[in-house]
Structure 1
C-alpha cells in the first residue's frame, strides 16, 4: 500500500511545487540565521563528525557511518554514534548499546541504530550508539557515563544546532533533478552542499561539472561505492561461501534504493528469480513473511536474501532461524579520495 501511495504522490507531485517554494524559503532563512549565529550552535566537549546528505534516504549513510566508526576505532579511539532514531516508537534518549550489550530493540531505537549496535557488539568494535531528537543532549548523556573520544552524527547535515568539526555529505546525483519537499525528496537546495568539508560521490561520474558549479579550493572530494562483504544466515551467523554464480534467490528489501540492492546481487552473479520491494523503514508483519515464503516455495529459489538493515528490523522474529533467510553485509569501497579523507579525520581525532 505504501509503495502505491508513493507512486501516486510521484505522479501528482507537480501540484505541490508552490509548497516546495515556501519550504525552500524557510530552509534558506533558517540556514542564514545559523550561518550568522542568530540561532545558537552548541558544542560538545569532544570532536564531532557528521555524515549526511540533502535528499531523504538513498545515499547509503549507515554503511558509511559504519566505515567511519570502524576506521576511527581501529586506531584505539572510542567512538560514540548519535542518531535521531528515525522510525522508532519511542521519544527522548535511548542507549542502543554501551559497546558490549544490546540495550534496546529496533522499535525503541530505530532500525539503523539497532543495525550499528548489533554490529558493534557482534564484532567487538565497542561503539556506543545512542538516539535522541536532541543530538547535543544525547552526547552529554553519553559522556556522563562513558569515555568517548569522538562522536559521529548519523544523518546530521541538517542538524545545524550542533557544532561539527567535519561535515561529510554523500551525493548520488539524484539530488540534481529532485524537487524540494513536499513535491520531491530534497531536504535542502543544492547550493547548501557548500557548507560541507567533504563531498563523497556515490558512483557519480560528473564530478567536474559539480566542481565548476561549486568552486571550493579546500574541499575534499571522494568517490565511493559499496561492495558485498559476505552473505550471512539469520541469527546463526554462518558465512555462505562464494562463488555465488548461478545461485537462485528470492530477494526483498525495505530501503531507500531497492534497485541498488538488486544491482549489487546481480553484480555478484546471483540469479534473482523473484524480488519484493517494500517502503523504506518498513515494519514487517507475519503476513509479509508468509507471503515471501509462499513465493519462495513456488519460485525454485535456493534461499532468501535481504539487506542488513532489514535483518535488524526482523531481529525479533526468532522463528526465521529455521528458514533459509540470509542477509547481505556490505562495506564502503573508495575509488578516490580515501587517503585525503583519512588525513582530514586524523587532524581532528588525535
Structure 2
C-alpha cells in the first residue's frame, strides 16, 4: 500500500470494524484449537527461539533477531535463522547464506533475511539463514546439511504450528491503541500476550499499558530501544566520522515506522533538511533515486542517509557508490531486563 493509500485507509478504517470482529472470531478459534491440541504443533530436534509481535511491522524484530544471534554466536553456538522472506519474488525453500557466502539477493529471499546475511558475512558471525513458508520443513532441510545448535524464528509469534522453547514478543505503546486487521494493524488481541515467555516493550514509557495482559511471574520483562553504532557508505567500509551534530542530510526510508528512523537521526544531532517516506519493503526505482539526488543538490545536503534494511533493497544499484549515500547501523540496547533475557537464553542452550 502506498503512503497516500495508508492515509486514506486510516481515515476510513472505522467502516472496516465489522470485518475486524469477524477476524477476531477466526483468530480466537484458531488459538483455541492450538491450545487444546486440535491443531498439530511440530517440534524441531534443536532449541527454538521465536521473535515476533502482534502488529504488522514497525517493532524492530530484525534488530532483535540480530542481537540474539550475535549473543549466541559469541558463545560459540551454530545459529540458524528461519524467516518467511516477506516480499520476495520466489516461493518455497531458499538458502540465503551458509554462514560464509550469500546465495540469494533481496528479491529472492526478502530484504530482512538479506540484510542479516550481509551483516553475518561482513562480521564473520556465521549465521545460516534460510527462508520458507514452512519453517519446520526449512529447519529439517538445514539439519540435513549443517551442524546447528539453535534455531531463531523471525516474525513467528503467529506461526503456532512450530514449537518454540522461548517465545519473545516485541511491543510498543501504539499496539494497545490499534484495531485488529483490517481496521487496524493488530494481528492478534492483547490477550495473546499471555503466550509470551519474554515481553520486550520498546521505549522508555515502560509497562503501565501492558502489565494487565501478562500472566505469570516467570515472564521476563524487558524495556529496550536502539542505539546508532555507525554510519557506513554504500558498498564500502568508509565510516562517516563523528560528530554528527549539524551534519546536513536527506533522509529516506521504506520501513514500518519512518518516524522512528527520523527520531534516531535527530537524537544523534543530524540536521534533516528533507525526508522521504516510502512504504515498508518498498522496491525503489531509478526515478525514486534520481528524485532524492535532485533534492540533495537542491537543498545543499552533505549526504543521503537511509536504513540498513533499505540498503539491502538497494544493493543491486551499484551506481550509488559514486554518490554520498550512507546507511545507519543500529543495535538493540536494553534499559531493563537485558540480563534476565540473556539468562533465559543461556538456560536453553547450555
Query: Fold-level match, TM-score > 0.5?
Result: yes
User: Within 2, Cα distance between the matches of 1:148 and 1:237?
Assistant: 30
- 2:339 corresponds to: 339
- 1:27 corresponds to: 27
1:105 equivalent to 2:85? Answer no
1:78 equivalent to 2:78? Answer yes
User: Within 1, Cα distance between the matches of 2:206 and 2:225?
Assistant: 15
- 1:321 corresponds to: 321
Q: Is 2:206–2:223's contact at 8 Å kept on the other side of the alignment? A: no
What SS does structure 2 have at the residue aligned with 1:85?
coil
| Gap change, CA 1:210 and 1:288, over 3 Å in 2 | same
User: Within 2, Cα distance between the matches of 1:184 and 1:72?
Assistant: 35
- 1:185 corresponds to: 185
Q: Is 2:179–2:185's contact at 8 Å kept on the other side of the alignment? A: yes
Deviation at residue 215 of structure 1 after TM alignment: 3.9
User: Within 2, Cα distance between the matches of 1:310 and 1:322?
Assistant: 17
RMSD (Å) for aligned C-alpha atoms: 0.9
User: Within 2, Cα distance between the matches of 1:130 and 1:321?
Assistant: 28
Q: Is 1:172–1:204's contact at 8 Å kept on the other side of the alignment? A: no
What SS does structure 2 have at the residue aligned with 1:239?
coil
User: Within 1, Cα distance between the matches of 2:204 and 2:59?
Assistant: 11
Q: Which moved more, 1:47-56 or 1:211-220?
A: 211-220
Q: Which moved more, 1:214-223 or 1:60-69?
A: 214-223
Deviation at residue 169 of structure 1 after TM alignment: 0.2
What SS does structure 2 have at the residue aligned with 1:21?
helix
**What's the CA shift string for 1:39-80, capped at 9, x where partnerless?**
000000110000000000010000010000000110000000
1:167-206 matches, within 5 Å, as 167-206=167-206
TM-score by length of 2: 0.99
What SS does structure 2 have at the residue aligned with 1:45?
coil
Deviation at residue 213 of structure 1 after TM alignment: 4.1
**What's the CA shift string for 1:198-252, capped at 9, x where partnerless?**
0001005241452234342111000100000000000012111111011100000
User: Within 1, Cα distance between the matches of 2:292 and 2:211?
Assistant: 45
Deviation at residue 175 of structure 1 after TM alignment: 1.0
User: Within 2, Cα distance between the matches of 1:213 and 1:194?
Assistant: 7
1:297 equivalent to 2:292? Answer no
What SS does structure 2 have at the residue aligned with 1:174?
helix
- 1:89 corresponds to: 89
User: Within 1, Cα distance between the matches of 2:65 and 2:142?
Assistant: 18
Q: Is 1:173–1:204's contact at 8 Å kept on the other side of the alignment? A: no
User: Within 2, Cα distance between the matches of 1:173 and 1:126?
Assistant: 35
User: Within 2, Cα distance between the matches of 1:256 and 1:214?
Assistant: 25
- 1:214 corresponds to: 214
- 1:271 corresponds to: 271
Q: Is 1:54–1:175's contact at 8 Å kept on the other side of the alignment? A: yes
1:18-57 matches, within 5 Å, as 18-57=18-57
User: Within 2, Cα distance between the matches of 1:137 and 1:287?
Assistant: 40
User: Within 2, Cα distance between the matches of 1:213 and 1:146?
Assistant: 39
1:306-317 matches, within 5 Å, as 306-317=306-317
User: Within 2, Cα distance between the matches of 1:225 and 1:53?
Assistant: 15
What SS does structure 2 have at the residue aligned with 1:348?
helix
What SS does structure 1 have at the residue aligned with 2:108?
helix
Gaps of 5+ in 1: none
**What's the CA shift string for 1:161-215, capped at 9, x where partnerless?**
0000000000111111100000000000010010000000100524145223434
User: Within 2, Cα distance between the matches of 1:82 and 1:94?
Assistant: 10
What SS does structure 1 have at the residue aligned with 2:176?
coil
User: Within 2, Cα distance between the matches of 1:95 and 1:258?
Assistant: 30
User: Within 2, Cα distance between the matches of 1:212 and 1:90?
Assistant: 41
Q: Which moved more, 1:258-267 or 1:200-209?
A: 200-209
User: Within 2, Cα distance between the matches of 1:72 and 1:90?
Assistant: 29
| Gap change, CA 1:209 and 1:296, over 3 Å in 2 | closer
